[in-house]
Amino acid sequence: MPAEAALTTRIEFVVELARRLHEYGTAAPRLEDAINHVAARLGLDCNILSTPTSIVMSFSDRQRPGSLADVTQVVRLSPGEVNLERLCEVDEIADRVIDGQVDLVEGRRRLRDIGALRPSLPANLLLVAAYGVASACVAIILRTAWPAVATAGLIGLATGAIALGAASRPNIAAAFEAICALLATLVATAIAVYLVPIDVRAVVIASLIVLLPGLSLTTAVRELSSQHLISGTARMAGAMAILLKLAFGAVAATQLGALFGWMPPPMPAASVPVWAEWAAVVAAGLAFAAMFRSPGRYYPVVIAAVVLGYVCTRVGGIFVSAPFGVFLGGLMLGAASNVFARVWKRPGALLREPGIILLVPGSVGFRTLSFVLERDVMLGLDTAVTLLTLLIALVAGLLFGDLLVPPRRKL
């Protein structure tokens, strides 16, 4: 039985499991609950504190009750990125170890093997393509014209290529968001001036949609609402830093354009047809599935989740208000992800993470800081209130979704 193994062996498995869950983007409340559950099944008392850059765990053996911990582990980590395929593999290994189908030593070895895997060239090329498709789809959803859609897709491809380069170059990674925002704004402005009139602001937002930290902002508010104050505060600060870099890059590019005498002409009145919007939502779901590296067999479910969230948001926004639409989308996605976890016995994050991308207000935060940096403070404050309202509505929807359908598993 796993609970009868040596104390060190059990602790090593739990620490490796926590490391992998953090690496693949698990939020603090879910990570801590999952680790506490696994530790209890292995006969351990565990006190865990998870933050975006570290995990602190103290362990004691339940067979030797006492007031002090036997072992304390401090693990320093980089902020995790969502990788749904790896998360499913980690979740399956944990289940098999707890059920006794795999021993602890073999389970830890498999977890380490998963951590050592690196994306293949086809996977990286698919990721770059997903950046371009997602940017083009968001431009369609924003009801821009076809030239703007093509421009956003082109800039999205360039952003994906820069992202791959930044992954192995720390000096580029530190300024990655500012570089992409600068490039996106310059390219969009140049095309609007010299080639064809386009909505520059909409193109910039669409091309940077993958970099906007709306998901981080939502996770931060959810962590704060569940009293995970250290993790929530740190994640909020990290998201704000990314927004500042994006806003600075865009404003700097605007000033450079003004220096060159680039003044975009009036925006065209024409926009894409209505049918293109719904086709774009489906294509965006496919792109998000690839970006979050979802297992291929779950692509249809991920696409359905994206469509569900968007439909609920649109319907609620039309008949009530935009915040209620976001709340309704979060509610339905939260409940649907828990139903999925119960039926398929896989992490609900497979639906929840990609599904809320079109709901999270990252673009609103970007516009807020852009207005402030352009010294339009009052408009920036008004947009900031909108950002806060949408964040609260989305988090409330996700929490009510958990009440409507209680999660069977912590992930």
Q: CA-CA distance, 138 to 143, in Å (whole number)?
A: 9
**Stated pTM of the model:** 0.90
- Encode pLDDT of 393-402 as tens digits: 999 999 999 9
DSSP string, 77-97: -PPP---HHHHHHHHHHHHHH
Residue 24: how many other CB atoms lie within 10 Å:
26
pLDDT of residue 223: 92
Average pLDDT of the segment spanning 130-142: 93
- Encode pLDDT of 5-25 as tens digits: 788 899 999 999 999 999 998
Q: What is the CA radius of gyration of the chain?
A: 22
**Sheet containing 44-51: which strands, arranged edge to edge?**
44-51, 54-61, 71-76
Average pLDDT of the segment spanning 42-58: 92
pLDDT of residue 126: 93
Average pLDDT of the segment spanning 103-118: 91
pLDDT band per the 50, 70, 90 thresholds, residue 263: confident
Res 184 pLDDT > 80 = yes
Hey, CA dihedral for 248, 252, 258, 262, is it positive or negative? negative
Average pLDDT of the segment spanning 96-101: 87
Please state the separation of Cα 257 from the chain's center in Å: 32
What is the share, in percent, of the chain residues with pLDDT greater than 90?
A: 52
Please state the separation of Cα 395 from the chain's center in Å: 14
pLDDT of residue 102: 87
Alpha carbon dihedral 217, 219, 223, 229, in 10-degree steps, equals -40
By mean pLDDT, which of 156-165, 204-213, 265-274 is the weakest? 265-274
pLDDT band per the 50, 70, 90 thresholds, residue 364: low
pLDDT band per the 50, 70, 90 thresholds, residue 48: very high
Pick the residue with more confidence: 133 or 62?
133
- Return the DSSP state at 266: P
What is the share, in percent, of the chain residues with pLDDT greater than 70?
A: 92
pLDDT of residue 269: 65
pLDDT of residue 368: 63
pLDDT of residue 36: 92
Q: Which of 23, 30, 24, 67 is nearest to 48 (CA)?
A: 30
Average pLDDT across the chain, whole number = 88
